[in-house]
């Protein structure tokens, strides 16, 4: 049996190939090793009732996750998974590689993540190339859920948000300065906390203020993460993630403004990623 996992900071999608049956699919919280310890990963996986009956039968596990950017982080995730899937060959790679497989397949192109965080890389058809991007929600993550959430919160707390939007925001989330500071500076996973406010934009995306915020965020992403590549006009850019998916119209407008060619826009890459891995490993 082959198990494929696409993990972000907020949630993880799992697909297990079952003999003579449709794949088993389910979702858990995100398993980003920057914010989740090895013990926490083990505990989360042990509580997945759907997968435990098959744990010893799984022979291959392919994990693609945010935060798996260096050998130490990948080893931490691998060590945690090996405690559950004792008979499996385990491969741990970054979510960018998973996104490249899901969007580019065996072809070359750029793949970008716009979800809780943001990142972009070039895929040459075999490997993703080193990138300067992906600095995280404090230094980077332009155009991501965390970036937009931070802008919404600061505008609300500084009373810089339009009055009618501020009223909706206050009655939707019931936040104040003390609550925000505690969640951002004292609790785990502040990036996912910030990103949890991004859905406010979807329900109010026709408002000129939200339209302007979306344009500003995507423009900053394009300028910071795409225009720095000298050959960006020669390749297709594929996008993965909920922010790219739900605000694809605004994303397309900004990309067209800067002559960025858009290919696929996928909310969750797990199905395409699963099919790619199964085809590759069963040939």
- Taking CA atoms, 42 is separated from 45, 50, 77, 219, 252, in Å, by 5, 15, 9, 39, 40
Residue with tokens 């994990």, as numbered in its chain: 63
pLDDT per residue rounded down to tens, the chain (283 residues): 899 999 987 789 999 988 888 888 888 888 888 888 889 999 988 888 888 888 889 999 999 988 888 889 999 999 999 999 999 999 999 888 898 999 988 888 899 989 888 888 888 877 777 777 666 667 768 899 999 999 999 999 999 999 999 999 999 998 898 998 898 888 877 888 899 999 999 889 899 999 999 999 999 999 998 998 888 888 889 999 999 999 999 999 999 999 999 999 998 889 999 999 988 877 6
Q: What is the pTM of this model?
A: 0.81
| pLDDT score for 26 | 87
| pLDDT score for 137 | 66
Answer yes or no: are the C-beta atoms of 239 and 104 closer than 8 Å: no
Cα–Cα distance for residue pair 116/141, rounded to 1 Å: 8
Q: CA dihedral defined by 26, 56, 30, 6, rounded to 10 degrees?
A: -70
Q: What are all long-range contacts of 119-122, with beta carbons under 8 Å and residues at least 24 apart?
A: 119/95, 119/225, 120/225, 120/226, 120/237, 121/96, 122/229, 122/235
Q: Using alpha carbons only, how large is the chain's radius of gyration in Å?
A: 19
**Of 133, 47, 113, which Cα lies nearest the Cα of 273?**
113
Kind of pairing between the strands at 118-123 and 109-114 = antiparallel
Domains of the chain listed by start with CATH number: 2-100+269-282 (3.30.420.40)
What one-character DSSP code corresponds to residue 50?
T
């Amino acid at each position: 049996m082959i198990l494929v996992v696409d993990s972000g900071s907020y949630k993880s999608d799992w697909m297990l190939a079952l003999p003579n049956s449709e794949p088993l699919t389910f979702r858990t919280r995100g398993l980003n090793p920057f914010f989740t310890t090895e013990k926490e990963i083990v505990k989360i996986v042990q509580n997945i009732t759907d997968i435990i009956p098959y744990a010893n039968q799984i022979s291959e596990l392919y994990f693609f996750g945010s935060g798996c950017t260096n050998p130490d982080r990948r080893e931490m995730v691998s060590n945690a998974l090996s405690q559950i899937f004792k008979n499996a060959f385990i491969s741990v790679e970054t979510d960018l590689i998973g996104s490249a497989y899901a969007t580019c397949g065996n072809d070359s192109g750029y793949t970008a993540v716009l979800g809780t965080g943001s990142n972009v890389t070039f895929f040459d058809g075999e490997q993703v190339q080193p990138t300067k991007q992906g600095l995280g929600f404090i230094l980077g993550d332009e155009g991501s859920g965390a970036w937009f959430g931070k802008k919404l919160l600061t505008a609300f707390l500084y009373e810089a948000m339009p009055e009618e939007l501020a009223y909706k925001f206050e009655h939707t989330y019931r936040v104040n300065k003390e609550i925000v500071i505690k969640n951002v500076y004292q609790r785990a996973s502040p990036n996912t906390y910030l990103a949890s406010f991004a859905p406010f934009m979807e329900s109010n995306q026709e408002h000129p203020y939200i339209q302007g915020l979306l344009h500003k965020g995507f423009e900053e992403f394009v300028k910071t993460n795409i225009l720095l590549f000298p050959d960006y006009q020669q390749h297709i850019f594929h996008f993965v993630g909920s922010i790219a998916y739900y605000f694809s119209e605004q994303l397309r407008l900004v990309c067209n403004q800067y002559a960025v060619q858009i290919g696929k826009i996928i909310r969750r890459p797990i199905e395409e990623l699963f099919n790619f891995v199964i085809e590759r490993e069963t040939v």
